[in-house]
Amino acid sequence: MTSLRSAVATSLPPIRAAISRMKQDMMRRELENCHLLAGIWCHGLTVRQLQALRGALPPAAKLVVAKNTLLEKAIAGTRWEPLRPCAKGMNAWLFVHSDEIPPALKPCRDFQRDFKLALNDFTGAVFEGRLYGPDNFQALETMPTRMESYAYLLGCLQTPAVSLLSILQAPEGDADQAAEGAAATSEK
């Protein structure tokens, strides 16, 4: 019996190391196409609550509960390294694989509000190489989505063309007044 125990004990470190390497590789694969990586303090959350949160996330977001040391090893030498100070305590890591950041963060805030979890807040996030602390999350949550940005850009491009068309289609007397009004506003 002793020889069996010693055989099992000697084989465990290589198995544990292989599992750790496999988890690190999984974390690195998640980081490859990631646009945002955020830490969420998950102390006291039940498995059922974490599953509910995962179910509320959009398909482009993934919530992973992993050891902080595992994440630190995975982000070492990458653009995600500024998140290292946030890897303390019990964290779940939110990987967002699209540039639609606010829709990915909204379910986390709704979950926090619905379950009255004031302490379970974001610990930090890295977006475009910049670290956002818990106090700076409002900037990430309120940034426009891609479609909102496109609509704003289209509106900016469309406004001069609409003004030009209205001047060209106006009767001759009105066109002179409209042109004078447009020239007066551009001089200011």
* 120-150 pLDDT, tens digit each: 678 889 998 889 888 887 878 777 777 777 7
Domain count, the chain: 1
Q: Which domain holds residue 135?
A: 25-142
3-state secondary structure of 123: strand
Is pLDDT of 101 > 70? yes
pTM: 0.69
Here the CATH number for the domain that contains residue 66 is 3.30.70.1730
Domain membership flag for residue 184: no
Domain membership flag for residue 182: no
**What is the structure's pLDDT at 11?**
58
Nearest residue to 74 (alpha-carbon basis) of 103, 37, 127, 31? 31
Domain membership flag for residue 49: yes
Kindly report which listed range (143-147, 153-157, 184-188) carries the lowest average pLDDT score: 184-188
Domain membership flag for residue 83: yes
Average pLDDT rounded to a whole number, residues 26-41: 88
Nearest residue to 36 (alpha-carbon basis) of 148, 147, 143, 150? 143
Secondary structure E strands in the chain? 36-41, 61-65, 91-96, 122-127, 130-132
Domain membership flag for residue 18: no
